[in-house]
Amino acid sequence: MLVLGLNYGDHDPSAALVKDGRLLVVVEHERISRIKRGKYQVPTESILECLKATGTNPSDIDYIAVGWSDQRLGELGEADKRFRIENVLPGEFRQVQELPQIVGVRHHLAHAASAFWCSGFSEAAVLVVDGEGEDESTTLWSGTEKGLVEIASLPSTLSLGHFYKSATKFSGLEHDGGNHEGKLMGLSSYGRPTEPMPLVLSPGSIGFSSDVAVDDGPRIRERFRDRLHEFWRASAYPYIEGDGREVMAYANFATSVQSSLEGALVHLAEHLKLKTGFSRLAIAGGVGQNCAANGTLGAKRIFDEIYIQPACHDAGVSLGAALWVSHTHDPNSLTIESAAMPHAFWGLQYSSDECQAALDKAGLKYVRLSEDALASTVAQAVADGSVVGWFHGRAEIGPRALGARSILADPRKRANVMRVNGIKSREVWRPFAPSVLEEHFDEYFESVVRSPFMNVACPVRYSARRLVPAIVHVDGTARPQSISSKHAPRYWKVVDGFRRITGLPLLLNTSFNLRGEPIVNSPRDAIRDFQISPIDMLALEDCVVTKRAQS
């Protein structure tokens, strides 16, 4: 059975193909359109890329699963004709005698499915936290091989996602309507939790103080934000909504918000453990991107193992919807083994010949190297001080670069924080993450969660901090990616090559993109960013380009 999964609506449109319970490909539309988060776009081109990558015809598809309820899909189509399914699907589907059955899957159920089945756990508690779904913002689930059972649901009026986003805007870190919650998370390491917060914990649930709480009804998000901002203006330093010119004045505020969020998530996780009795936790929803909170959940040891879906934001909903429809319509095909996702390399891939053709078209001088020569060349360049754009294999899904579309630098040099932040035009106080060989993880980091997805923050061992200062945040933490030679063999060779040269089995790794754009997808994207930025070297599959060679 072949299921096409889709997400579209406000943001993060995507498409995914699942065949007989196994994921084939996921395409996040922002990578194709080059508009970050793909706001109010439809994934038509992403569907075409999924079909092309897998050699699939529209007539091969049995079901189309969309990560919103049928009612919500109808409302989307009424509000904007572009969101009607017949307009979302490519023209090739009009040649099919009869469209596949369209199945709407509730948003949080799709999130939960993407977390549980991809975790590889035979049973797990599942926590979904985001801005809002149809009418819920937090859901708690029990997951077994029989399926998912909802334990509890919190409405949109109690949204932790909207709480955190509102705080980001209040502190002046969001000024263009984008999603900048990661900035607030980074800033929170610079302060102390001194400011009052309106979050209230109750047995098995959360709430907000009466001067902030809103009732159900129109414009929930706006009314909730306005009340939060009024509360913070009256009680939280510096008592004014930020305009971004005095960011560090909001450090204690950011820490207080982060601490409050973490307290709420720990509280919900403890309730989940009590209700399910399971020893494993799976997480999805946009709030699951908060690495610091994930690290706190791991450090509390409420659960023995934690899995965070690498595409836990709404782009992962296309995958989750497809998995849920696979489970409900052909339960024998979808198993824990078939759906497990130990790596995130499920995006598009370009051949060496396609990369060479793109370089020829750009008029760039390059050399082609064997895999071993490529790894040693890149490792030596980083050790010698170069910043390298690295492009290899299938693209990662999710917001973190994991060794397919990465910018690499030497973690030994603290100056590289300023240098790479300059290349990406990021705030100078924002941290960078390391990629570390999984065999050496415990030598450098203290964490019960060895995440291959770079989505769990943890302390850097005190003895290692002076060795790799460029990846240590001001609070002594990092969000490491554990690299497996099985799932990322070429990237593993690069990091191991750096280890052979320097004795250190890790690199500074950040996403290959410049300010305001998504992670690069195609060779053309990578070449453009290389040409207009101070990146020293570009490794494009087996082709190596340097600025020195061009001059």
Q: Which residues belong to the active site? A: 11
What CA–CA distance (Å, rounded) separates 438 from 121? 21
Alpha-carbon Rg for the chain, nearest whole angstrom, is 23
Half-sphere exposure of 445 (CA within 13 A, CB side): 31
The answer to whether 205 and 272 have CB atoms below 8 angstroms apart is: no
What CA–CA distance (Å, rounded) separates 315 from 15? 8
Per DSSP, helices labelled H in 22-147 are: 29-33, 44-54, 70-79, 85-88, 107-119
Parallel, antiparallel, or unpaired for β 14-19 and 2-7?
A: antiparallel
Distances in Å between the Cα of 197 and the Cα atoms of 76, 173, 209, 214, 252 are 35, 19, 9, 16, 12
Distances in Å between the Cα of 76 and the Cα atoms of 69, 83, 84, 239, 278 are 11, 6, 7, 38, 37
The answer to whether 290 and 184 have CB atoms below 8 angstroms apart is: no
- Helix (H/G/I), strand (E/B), else coil: 299: helix
By the 10 Å C-beta count (0-12 exposed, 13-18 middle, 19+ buried), 548 is classed as exposed
Q: What is the DSSP string of 450-508?
A: --TTS---EEBPHHHHTT-GGG--TTSEE--EEEPTTTSHHHHHHHHHHHHHHS--EEE
The answer to whether 521 and 343 have CB atoms below 8 angstroms apart is: no
What CA–CA distance (Å, rounded) separates 32 from 37? 11
Per DSSP, helices labelled H in 217-350 are: 220-235, 251-276, 291-300, 317-329, 336-339
What CA–CA distance (Å, rounded) separates 445 from 394? 28
- Return the axis-axis angle of helices 160-170 and 220-235, rounded to nearest 10°: 50
User: Residue 176 has what DSSP assignment?
Assistant: S
Question: Letter for the amino acid at 165?
Answer: K
Estimate to the nearest angstrom the gap between the alpha carbon of 398 and the chain centroid. 4
